[in-house]
Structure 1
Amino acid sequence: MLNTIPKIMMKKGLLVSLLAALSQLAVMPVQAQTCQDLVTDLARYQSDAQLGSYRFANDVGEAVLDIPEAQSYSAYIRATQALIFARNPKARLPCELATKVSALLPSQPTQVADYVAPFELTHPNNQKAVLLIHGLTDSPFTFHTLAADLYAQGYDVRTMLLPGHGTAASDLKETDYRDWQQHVRYAISRTASDYSDFAVLGYSTGAALATTEIAARRPDNLAALVLVAPATQSHSEKAWLAKWLDWLPWVDWVDKAADLDLAKYESFPLHAVTLVEQAMADMREASLPASLPTLVIASDVDATINSQVTYQLLSRWAQARTAPLALRVYAPDALTALPESIDITEVSTLDGVIDMSHIGFLNPPEHPYYGKTGVFRNCDAYLDDTRAFTHCKTTDTPHFGERSQANLAEHTPLIRVSFNPDYDPMTTQLVEFLGKAMQ
């Protein structure tokens, strides 16, 4: 083959360039046809992790929206959708998933942007709403079942998109903590203005941001607060160092992954650690109004968040409490040392699942993407072992549970469970809680 290359190409520099280009073509992934293809083509994981194909946002427009306080929620949703289409490199990838919310939206979702964008579900002349706030690296897609179930109970439902999300992980490097605060403040105050009664449900980092905002500025018509896997403190004892390392220009990423999940980032910039550390620190200092009914849903074995710190916070909130404070906890062993004033529901066993993970609460087993037989499997524990990773992704006999060292040692392969066998009983408790608070 080299004999056919023109002599001018034989110059050392040009030959090296040509060979480098050919090597890049050899590893370049074939363009996926759908969002489902993206996560079932196992060869893509290594190549996309190396190339960062979906790690970086398109350089179009600003990464963070400026939201006028008087902006309508429908205008906010439209502006956010436009940002996603502009900056998300997967935005127009065909994607059709039969989620419960899909059937309720004005138009059927057909591409990735439709699933990660914020949405609202409304009834005519309704005055009760629930605002849902997602967590770090996540998107409103995490509420594509719960939102529909709450809507079926007669509530209007709104979701929001935290700045830096819904596009690509690199946009988290362009986001400031004040951006998160501003957007959460807007969503809460706008919903308070639009409805007679409403509740807020925050998941993980969304729970922390909601708690801090409500502790500082509780709207008079806020009837209830629900915190799912609230981000109180991470298990990492060195996470506090992130704010100092973030100043070093050569330290950018904690994790560089393939980012093939349609709705959640898999790569993790260091700056995101500084953001969530601030959110968690503020939550630990927050004092909720004693008269605000509050439901917390947590896992005792959460590998992301230290649930013991969550229990300590609940114990402080329980003092001088005048409204219900309830805890639904997934715990293999009985909890001790929590105040009797906290209404505790313990779930000790889960059908077909070892224990509950940080990412599993809000998806039922039949979820088309994250469910038991869904398209996506979280096998990140094996990213450095191609054979184990492939086995985890393809086996017919997986184990589902939290990504703990004990589970990894005892159960092979282990998929980090992204669904909840207890989803229906959990939702029943949630609906009853909201019904009493919003009578």
Structure 2
Amino acid sequence: MNNSGLILRIVLRVFLRVAFGFVLSVFSHTAVAQNCISQASNFKFITKSKQQGLLRFENEHNHQRFNYHALLPFNDYLDFAYKHINKANPRANMPCPAITQTYQQLVTQGTRKPDPTIADIIAPFELTHPNRNKVALLIHGLTDSPFTYHDLAQVYYQQGYTVRTILLPGHGSAASALLNVDVSQWQQAIKYGIERSVQDFDEVILAGYSTGAALLIDYATKHTVSPKIKALMLYSPGSEPHNKYGWIAKWIDAIPFVNWIDKDADVDFAKYESFPLNAAAASYDAMSLASISSLNKRPALKLPIFSVLSDIDTTIDTRATLKLLSALHKGNSIKYKPLDTLVLYGSTDILPPDFASDYTVNNPQCTTPQCKKVHGMSHIAVVNSPQNPHYGINATYRNCGSFINDESLYKTCKTTKNPQLGERTSANLKHYPALQRLTYNPHFTELKMQISTFIKNVEQLRTTTR
């Protein structure tokens, strides 16, 4: 080989090494920059994901089920759920710096790593209190994940409770996982969580959000409730869907190739944005189990009840919820009735004329300039703090599902510098055409105090009746 050929080979080799190093550097930089927070604000990716369903389908994997009936140790359950998320969720290993106070405590306790992935953030958890004899079991709602309770977990923990969460079957991966789930699977998970907690602790508080609340009401009125269970706490509780045609979902779902109500981008790492017909059918079944007509056939619920809801909730019918709460209160024991508490956001005019006069009703009022910019409390906002890194005031994620069929308004909602916030009522959508659905509770600090007061009253009653 002549010298010119050797020089050419050396130059080419150096060039390839430099080029390859540059490509690796760019790829590495992109990988670091792309995380669950930045992806949720990348409108080009949002559009592509919405159109192509990039995040709508879970990974192919062996579908194994946890043996709920065996009442295996809770740590076994947590390990199973975490492994399932890592197998099924297409973004399980994506960096996710949505670090809450609850997450920081889990790191300190050695059950999470300092640099979280999406799997770390959304997986069910146990926030262990040194007290160890009291537990709050928190059940999330339809399309959600245990991240729902990262903010409220602190309230229970500060009251001396270990906090446990459950991942309902069909959740934690992608919306397609809800295509084949049914209410009996959720009931099994709820039953396991409750009975395992009753076995492990002396005192148990049950709390549920939306569909999770309906499932808890179903359990508590269908089974002999352990005396260890001290209270039932309901956030935006599922009573009846706002859409009165929810019962049709299962029949439409039976039509071949008709599977989805909504097809969105699914960039919300903690909650599905796309919505299958089967999910609506299963949720309707869950709420039917907790309906007044179903409860009339069962023994009355004998527990103190704490509830939080919005007067203009567009997911759940608030009037139906108030009727349900009134019925539960009417059948409650004399010693528990004085503890029954309702936190109602919005107008009290929605209270029915025959609503129990001895029910404690808290009606928070808007007193800050920031709060006055909010156009009503949404169904999904109740449980989240304004400081939440994903759903709070300074978060980049925006809930714009009201406009998935209108590209112009969808883009405006996702990208405008000054979005309007509130519940997606017809009046609000008319006045604020690109309304961002409120994802945090402006009254969260007050809510923490109301929860603490309720728990203290429950504990005081327990002490005086021993």
| TM-score using structure 1 length | 0.89
Measured against aligned partners, the alpha-carbon deviations of 1:317-343 in whole angstroms (never above 9, x if no partner) come to 222432132111112353341110211
Q: 1:341 and 1:416, CA in 2 relative to 1: closer, same or farther beyond 3 A?
A: same
Quick one: distance in 2 between partners of 1:143 and 1:339? 30
How big is the alpha-carbon RMSD for the aligned residues of Structure 1 and Structure 2? 1.8
* Equivalent in the alignment of 2:464: none
* Equivalent in the alignment of 1:345: 362
- Consecutive unaligned residues in structure 2, runs of 5 or more: 1-29, 461-466
- Name the SS of the counterpart of 1:226 in structure 2: strand
1:226, 1:296 within 8 Å by CA — same for their partners in 2? yes
2:300, 2:331 within 8 Å by CA — same for their partners in 1? no
Displacement of 1:38 in angstroms is 1.4
Displacement of 1:159 in angstroms is 0.6
Quick one: distance in 1 between partners of 2:299 and 2:419? 41
Displacement of 1:402 in angstroms is 0.2
2:412 matched to 1:377? no
* Equivalent in the alignment of 1:273: 280
* Equivalent in the alignment of 2:45: 44
AA matched with 2:248: L
Displacement of 1:387 in angstroms is 3.2
2:310 matched to 1:310? no
* Equivalent in the alignment of 1:416: 437
Quick one: distance in 1 between partners of 2:387 and 2:457? 29
Is 405-414 or 210-219 further displaced after alignment?
405-414
Matches within 5 A, 1:19-418: 33-62=34-63, 64-105=65-106, 106=110, 107=112, 108-217=114-223, 218-284=225-291, 285-286=294-295, 289-321=300-332, 322=334, 323=336, 324-334=339-349, 335-337=351-353, 338-349=355-366, 350-418=371-439
AA matched with 1:211: I
Quick one: distance in 2 between partners of 1:428 and 1:288? 32
- Name the SS of the counterpart of 1:202 in structure 2: strand
Percent identity reads 37
* Equivalent in the alignment of 1:429: 450
AA matched with 1:329: L
Displacement of 1:290 in angstroms is 4.6
Displacement of 1:176 in angstroms is 2.2
Quick one: distance in 2 between partners of 1:178 and 1:205? 13
Displacement of 1:265 in angstroms is 0.3
Q: 1:288 and 1:343, CA in 2 relative to 1: closer, same or farther beyond 3 A?
A: farther
AA matched with 1:331: G
Is 310-319 or 127-136 further displaced after alignment?
310-319
1:332, 1:347 within 8 Å by CA — same for their partners in 2? no
AA matched with 1:247: A
AA matched with 2:278: H
Quick one: distance in 2 between partners of 1:259 and 1:299? 25
Quick one: distance in 2 between partners of 1:429 and 1:330? 13
Quick one: distance in 1 between partners of 2:290 and 2:69? 26
Displacement of 1:63 in angstroms is 6.1
Q: 1:55 and 1:310, CA in 2 relative to 1: closer, same or farther beyond 3 A?
A: same
Quick one: distance in 2 between partners of 1:382 and 1:248? 25
Is 361-370 or 392-401 further displaced after alignment?
392-401
Measured against aligned partners, the alpha-carbon deviations of 1:224-275 in whole angstroms (never above 9, x if no partner) come to 0001111111111221111222222221111111111111001111111110
Is 92-101 or 110-119 further displaced after alignment?
92-101
- Compare the two structures and name the one with the higher helix fraction: 2
Is 256-265 or 149-158 further displaced after alignment?
149-158
Quick one: distance in 2 between partners of 1:298 and 1:64? 34
AA matched with 2:68: I
AA matched with 1:223: K
Q: 1:63 and 1:332, CA in 2 relative to 1: closer, same or farther beyond 3 A?
A: farther
Displacement of 1:405 in angstroms is 0.9
Measured against aligned partners, the alpha-carbon deviations of 1:28-85 in whole angstroms (never above 9, x if no partner) come to xx98821112111101222112221111111111164333433011110010000000
Q: 1:187 and 1:122, CA in 2 relative to 1: closer, same or farther beyond 3 A?
A: same
After superposing on structure 2, the runs of 4+ consecutive aligned residues of structure 1 that deviate more than 6 Å are none
